[in-house]
């Protein structure tokens, strides 16, 4: 599962709800300005309420932020 998620998440064995969530997180990561009400509606249709959508958004955003901080400081890189 981890290898599929790393190489091409669309090939991973995800539930429909998980796939909807990951699609949202990928869009948020690539370009959050393109997130629309339609994205939130797809999450609601998949079973997430407003609190769940907020949690997904906050967690994904935090990971994006902390990864960029680590990358910019060279954390985990040799040399």
Looking up residue 8, the CATH number of its domain turns out to be 1.20.1290.10
Per residue in 22-45, pLDDT tens?
999 999 999 999 999 999 999 999
- Domains held by the chain: number: 1
Q: Decide: 25 and 3 in contact? Cβ < 8 Å.
A: no
pLDDT value for 7: 81
Any domain includes 78: no
The answer on pLDDT for 53 being more than 90 is yes
Any domain includes 54: yes
Any domain includes 79: no
The answer on pLDDT for 79 being more than 80 is no
Q: What is the mean pLDDT of residues 44-60?
A: 98
Any domain includes 60: yes
What's this model's pTM, rounded to 2 decimal places?
Answer: 0.87
Exposed e or buried b for every residue in 38-72, given b needs 16+ CB within 10 A?
A: ebeeebeebebeeeebeebbeebeeeeeeeeeeee
Any domain includes 6: yes
Domain range enclosing 47: 2-73
């Amino acid at each position: 599962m981890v290898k599929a998620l790393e190489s091409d998440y669309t090939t991973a064995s995800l539930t429909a709800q998980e796939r909807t969530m990951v699609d949202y997180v990928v869009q948020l990561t690539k370009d959050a300005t393109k997130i629309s009400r339609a994205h939130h509606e797809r999450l609601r249709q998949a079973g997430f309420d407003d609190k769940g959508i907020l949690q997904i958004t906050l967690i994904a955003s935090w990971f994006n932020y902390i990864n960029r901080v680590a990358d910019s400081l060279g954390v985990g890189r040799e040399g």
